[in-house]
Amino acid sequence: MRTEIAKLGEFGLINHLTKDIKFHNSSSLLGVGDDAAILDFCGKQTIVTTDLLLEGIHFDLTYVPLTHLGYKSAIVNFSDIYAMNARPTQITVSIGVSKRFSVEDLEDLYAGIRLACDRHGVDLVGGDTSASMTGLCISITCIGEGENGKIVKRSGAKENDLICVSGDLGAAYMGLQLLEREKAVFAGMKEEDIQPDFAGKEYLIERQLKPEARKDIIELLATKGIIPTSMMDISDGLSSELIHICKASNCGCRVFEEHIPIDYQTALLAEEFNMSLTTCAMNGGEDYELLFTVPLELHELVSKLEGIRIIGHITKPELGMNLVTRDGVEVALKAQGFQHEM
C-alpha cells in the first residue's frame, strides 16, 4: 500500500507522524502543535547542535534503509551533545521530500528517529516539512542540558594529559567501503532477487548504518567522578578530531599506532581491500566514538575502565601533532577525513 503525501497535506502529514509522541523530560513543556516549542531548563546550561543531511551527499538510499537513516540522523546529533559531557533532551526534525516518497516511507524514517529518541530519553518537540526537487533532505536540531562546571569543550587539554578513545575505530568506514563495493557489483546485474552476502561482516555494516552515541561512556565517567579536560566525538576521523582539540587547546600530541583500538572484522576487510589499517582507523570517520583527555594522575583509574583505551598524551605545541608508528617513527597528523564535494 502506498499513500501519496498530497492526500494528507503538510499539516496532516505532521500530525500523522507525531500525533502520539510522549515526552521523556520535564523540561519539555510544549511540543509539536503550536508555533514553537516551550522548554524550561531550571537554571541548567543549554547545549544546541544541528546537522543537515542531503541525499546523494551524506547518504545513499540504494543501500541505506529509511528506518536506519532516521535512527542515524538522530544519533549523530545526540553524539554531539554527549561530546560536551551533557545530555540530549529535545530535537526538532525538518525534512524536504520529493514526490517519489510516500507517507509509508516517511513513517519508516520517523520510526528510526523515534526509536533513537526512546532509547536516549529525548523528546521530539517540533520541526518542518517541505517539498524538495533534489531528493530527501533532513535537518535535525538537538537541544541538551549540562551542569555548570561539568560541560566539556575542545579547548581544555593540558600538557601531559592522557588521550583516550572509546570503542574501536575504522569499522564504520570499512562498512561504507563494503556497501559501496556491493552496490557497484550489483549495479550491472539483472536478477532482482539476488542479495549481497555480508556474512561475517555484520558488525561493519551495523557500524555504518546504525551507529550508537556513547551515552554509556558519559555515564561511566560520571560514576567514576571523571570530568574530561577536553572532548569530541569522532565523526570526521581520529586525525581530524585530534587536530581540532590541539588547535583549540594550543597544544601538541603524540598518539601511538600500536594503542589504537581496531576490531578484528575491520582488520580483515582492510587486508581484503589492500588498504592501510591505520589509515582507515585514523581518517575513516563516522565512528561516533568519544575522544577525550584526562589528567595524567588518572592513568591508573582510566586504564581499568572497560571500553576505553589510552592512545597517547598531550605535549607542548612546539612538539607538533604526531602519530608514533609501531617502529618508532613520528609522522605528522593530517586531517584526511572524508570531505563532502561542494
Domain extents in the chain: 5-146, 154-332
Per residue in 225-242, pLDDT tens?
999 999 999 999 999 999
**In the predicted model, is pLDDT for residue 159 greater than 70?**
yes
How many whole angstroms separate alpha carbon 174 and alpha carbon 284? 8
pLDDT at residue 148, as a whole number: 84
Report percent pLDDT > 70 for the chain.
87
Report percent pLDDT > 90 for the chain.
71
Give me the mean pLDDT over the 90-94 stretch. 95
Give the mean pLDDT of the chain: 89
Distances (CA, A) of 81 to 76, 120, 219, 297: 9, 12, 13, 27
User: Has this prediction a pTM greater than 0.85?
Assistant: yes
Give me the mean pLDDT over the 179-195 stretch. 73
pLDDT at residue 34, as a whole number: 46
How many whole angstroms separate alpha carbon 164 and alpha carbon 55? 33
Distances (CA, A) of 145 to 43, 90, 91: 10, 9, 12
How many whole angstroms separate alpha carbon 290 and alpha carbon 278? 18
How many whole angstroms separate alpha carbon 341 and alpha carbon 11? 34
**In the predicted model, is pLDDT for residue 12 greater than 80?**
no
The CB-side HSE value for 286 (13 A sphere, CA atoms) comes to 24
Q: What are phi and psi of 46, to 5 degrees?
A: -100, 135
Give me the mean pLDDT over the 61-67 stretch. 95
Neighbours of 115 (CB within 10 A): 16
At 103 the three-state DSSP class reads helix
Running DSSP on this structure, what letter comes out for residue 232?
A: E
Q: Which grid cell sits at 107?
A: 513513517
pLDDT at residue 22, as a whole number: 76
Res. 341 pLDDT band, cuts 50 70 90: very low
**In the predicted model, is pLDDT for residue 275 greater than 70?**
yes
pLDDT at residue 134, as a whole number: 83
How many whole angstroms separate alpha carbon 283 and alpha carbon 240? 7
Q: Which of 287, 282, 255 is nearest to 162 (CA)?
A: 255
At 256 the three-state DSSP class reads strand
- In the block, cell 597544544 appears at 251
**In the predicted model, is pLDDT for residue 36 greater than 80?**
no
Q: Tell me whether strands 321-324 and 87-97 are parallel, antiparallel or unpaired.
A: unpaired
pLDDT at residue 23, as a whole number: 77
**In the predicted model, is pLDDT for residue 108 greater than 80?**
yes
Q: 25: which residues sit within 8 A by CB, 6+ positions away?
A: 89, 90, 121, 122, 123
- In the block, cell 551524506 appears at 58
Give me the mean pLDDT over the 258-268 stretch. 97
Tell which wins on pLDDT, 238 or 21: 238
How many whole angstroms separate alpha carbon 210 and alpha carbon 116? 10
Q: Which grid cell sits at 53?
A: 543531511
Buried b (16+ CB within 10 A) or exposed e, 278-316: bebbbbbbbbbbbbbbbeeebeeebeebeebbbbbbbbe
Q: Tell me whether strands 252-256 and 321-324 are parallel, antiparallel or unpaired.
A: parallel
Tell which wins on pLDDT, 126 or 16: 126
pLDDT at residue 17, as a whole number: 62
Q: What is the DSSP string of 125-192?
A: EEEEEEE-SSS-EEEEEEEEEE-TTT---GGG--TTPEEEEES-SSHHHHHHHHHHHHHHHHHT---T
How many whole angstroms separate alpha carbon 292 and alpha carbon 213? 15
Running DSSP on this structure, what letter comes out for residue 325?
A: -
Res. 43 pLDDT band, cuts 50 70 90: confident
Tell which wins on pLDDT, 314 or 21: 314
Give me the mean pLDDT over the 67-85 stretch. 96
Q: Which grid cell sits at 275?
A: 588498504
Radius of gyration of the chain (CA): 21
How many whole angstroms separate alpha carbon 211 and alpha carbon 137? 20
Q: What is the topology classification, in CATH, of domain 5-146?
A: 60s Ribosomal Protein L30; Chain: A; (3.30.1330)
**In the predicted model, is pLDDT for residue 245 greater than 70?**
yes
Q: Write the CATH number of the domain with boundaries 154-332.
A: 3.90.650.10
pLDDT at residue 54, as a whole number: 93
**In the predicted model, is pLDDT for residue 220 greater than 80?**
yes
